[in-house]
Structure 1
Amino acid sequence: MTTTQSLTDDERRAFIRYTHTRLWPLLQRFPVAGDLHDELLAQMVGCPAQTVRDIAAELAGQARDTAAEMLTDHRFRDMLDTLPFRPEDRIVAVGDSITADRIGWFELLSAALPSHTTVNLGVSGNTTADVLERFDLLEAARPGHVLLMLGTNDVRTHGRATGHRMATGAETERNLRALVDLIAGMGATVTAITPPAVDQRRIDATFAAGPVRWHAADIAEVAEITRKVAPACVDLHTATANEDLDAFLEADGVHPSATGQRLILTRIVEHLTKRAP
C-alpha cells in the first residue's frame, strides 16, 4: 500500500488534480474555513499547504492556457457562440473524476465561457447512487442547464479474488432515470453524456495487484444504458472508442489525458451546437 510518506511528486499532483474537498458532500453541508481545505489536502498527501496551493494554481493556469489555445480555432469559437445556454443559465456539471479533473473538460469550458456562471459538481469516485444522495446540493446550485456524465464508477469492481460491481445495470438505469426526472422537475435542462471509452490493456496492467478495476465491456454497457435513458445524449463512448487510446487516456487506461479532455469538450460542444434551436 502506498503511504503519504512514500508518495512521489507526480502522485501528489495527480491526487490534487482530481480531489476537491470543497465538493465533498459533508463539507458542503457543514462548510469549514477555506484555508482548512488546503491543510486537509496537505495532510492527505504529506506536503505543506502552500505546496497544495501552488499545484492547484498551476493546474488552474494550465486549464486557462489550454482554453485560450482552443479559442484560437475559429470553428471552436463559432460553436461556443451557438451553444444553447441562456445568459441567465447557471451551467452545472455533475460527474466523477473525469469531470472533477482540474484540467478537465468542464474546467476548460468554464475558462472558455467567462461570461457564463459555471459550477463544477464533479466528485471523484462518485456513482449514480452517490449523486442521488447529494441531489440536495445539485438543487442548491440552482442550475439552468445540467451536464450529466456518470457511470464509470457504477461498474468499478471491488475484490481481488472475486470482483463485485458497485451497481448492476438495472440499478444504474434506475438511478439515471431518477436523476434526469429530478433535474427536469427543477425546471432545468439536462444533457446526459455517456462515459468515454477505456483501455483494457492498460487497466489490467495498472490495477493487476489492486482491489479495484474496470472492464471495458461494462463501460460499454453503461453507455448503452445512457443512450436508452436519454436518446438525445452526447454519445462520448462511441466518439472515443475509435480514438488513439494511448493519446486519449492517462497511463491507468481510465482517466482521460489533457489531450483527451480537450477532445471530450470538443465532442460535447459539437453535440450541443447541433441540437441548439
Structure 2
Amino acid sequence: MNPAQSYSDDERRHFLRYTRTPQWPMLQRFPIDDDGHLGLLAGMLASRPDTVASMIRAMHDETRARAARMLADDGYRSAVAGLRLRPDDRIVAVGDSITADRLGWFELLAASTGPTGAALVNLGVSGDTTADILERFDTLEAAGPGHVLLMIGTNDARFHGRAPGYRMATIAETERNLRALIDLITHQLGASITVVTPPAVDQDRIDASFAGAPVRWTAEAVAEVAEAVRKVAPDAVDLYETTRAGATAGFLEADGVHPTPAGHELILRQILDRLIRTR
C-alpha cells in the first residue's frame, strides 16, 4: 500500500480485518508494544492510530456479538461446554488469512468460551503457505501449545504472474511440508493436533475479483491441496467437502476465497464437532 494514498473506511476495515502485525514472524521475534503496532498499521493505512484502534475494537465487538447470538442456541452452547477447557489448556490456531480474520472462526471460538482461564492463541498470518508455517515454527514453539489447530494450504494453490503464472507450491511440496509440520508438532512439541482442509473456493468470483491482477487461485488447485491434506492426515476435518457444494450460498465473500462471517460460523461448528469428539 502506498502511504501517500487515501483509503476509504471500507478499504481500511478490509485491510485490518486480515492483518495482524503481532503475528508477523519478525515482529514476534523482535517484539514491539501495542502502541507500536497501532502506529505501524496507521502508517500503512495513512491513518491515525486512534482510528485504527477504533476499527479493531469495532470488529472485536462484532465478533463478540455474533458469538453471543450463537450461544443462544442450545446445541452450540452445549458443544462449547463439551470442550471442557481447563485453566492450563493452550489451544493455538495456525493458518493463513482464513484463521487470521478478526471476524473469523477462531476469534468466534475464543469469544464463545468465556472465563475458563484457558489460553486461545491465534497465530494466523495472511498469505501464509505451508512453507511459511514451517519457517516460523519457532513462533509456534514459543506459544507453548497443548493442542494445535492447523488449517493451511489455500495459498499453496495461489498463482503469481500473468497466465499461466507460477504456483506457490507443488503438491509434492505441500505434502512434504504438511508431514513435517505434523511431525514437529506432535513429536518435538508434544502437542496434539487437529488438521483441517482448506475450504472450497468459487472460481467465478475469483475470476471477477482478480481480473487483470497478477495473482489468482483456481478451484482445481485448491481441490488438489485438499486431497493432499486428506492423504497426509486421513482424519483431517474435511472442510473442503463440506463447503464444496455450497461455496456460493453465502459462504464466501465477493473475492471467492475468504469466508463471510456466516461462513466462519459453519467452519467453527464443524471444527468444534471434531474437538468435542476427540477430547
2:101 counterpart residue number: 101
1:126 maps to which residue?
Answer: 128
Deviations 1:54-83 (CA, angstroms, capped at 9, x unpaired): 000000001111111111111111112223
Structure 2 residue aligned with 1:42: 42
- Cα distance, 1:237 vs structure 2: 0.3
Kept in 2: contact 1:149–1:192 (CA 8 A) = yes
Q: Helix, strand or coil for the counterpart of 2:5?
A: helix
Superposed, which structure 2 residues align to 1:167-178 within 5 Å? 167-178=169-180
Q: Distance in 2 between matches of 1:271 and 1:32?
A: 36
**Partner residue in 2 for 1:197:** 200
Q: Which amino acid letter does the alignment assign opposite residue 193 of structure 1? A: V
Listed as ranges, the matches of 1:42-81 within 5 Å are 42-81=42-81
Contact 2:96 2:125 in 1 (8 A): yes
- Could you tell me the percent identity over the aligned residues? 59
Alignment of 1:113-262 (within 5 A): 113-114=113-114, 115=116, 116-185=118-187, 186-243=189-246, 245-262=248-265
Aligned residue-pair number: 276
Cα distance in 2, alignment partners of residues 4 and 215 from structure 1: 33
State the one-letter code of the partner of 1:14. Answer: H
- The 3 A distance-change label for structure 1 pair 3 and 30 is closer
The Cα offsets for residues 71-116 of structure 1, whole Å up to 9 and x where unpaired, read as 1111111112223755522000000000000010000001111312
Task: Name the CA distance, whole Å, in 1 between partners of 2:4 and 2:103.
Answer: 23
For residue 102 of structure 1, give the secondary structure of its aligned residue in structure 2.
coil
Off by >4 Å, runs of 4+ in structure 1: 1-4, 84-87
Task: Give the structure 2 partner of residue 263 of structure 1.
Answer: 266
In structure 2, how many angstroms separate the alpha carbons of the residues matched to 1:272 and 1:32?
34
RMSD of equivalent CA atoms: 1.5
Contact 1:84 1:272 in 2 (8 A): no
Quote how far apart the aligned CAs of 1:244 are: 5.0
Q: Which residue identity is paired with 1:172? A: T
Aligned to 2:25: 25
- Give the alignment's TM-score, normalised by structure 1: 0.96
Structure 1 residue runs of 5 or longer lacking an equivalent are none
Q: Please report the TM-score for the alignment, with normalisation by the length of structure 2.
A: 0.95
CA distance in 2, matches of 1:268, 1:2: 38
| TM-superposed deviation, 1:252 | 0.3
Deviations 1:131-186 (A, max 9, x none): 10000110010000000000000111000133101100000000000000000011
* Structure 2 partner of 1:10: 10
Distance (whole Å) between structure 1 residues aligned to residue 254 and residue 121 of structure 2: 28
- For 1:70, the aligned partner's letter is M
CA deviation vs aligned residue, 1:183-233 (integer Å, no higher than 9, x gap): 001110000000001100000001011010000111111111111111111
For the 8 Å contact 2:201–2:247, the answer to whether it is kept is: no
> Are the counterparts in 1 of residues 3 and 43 from structure 2 also a CA contact under 8 Å?
no
The separation in 2 between residues aligned to 1:260 and 1:245, in whole angstroms, is 10
Q: Per the alignment, do residues 231 and 161 of structure 1 end up closer, same or farther by CA in structure 2, a change over 3 Å counting?
A: closer
1:4, CA displacement in angstroms?
5.4
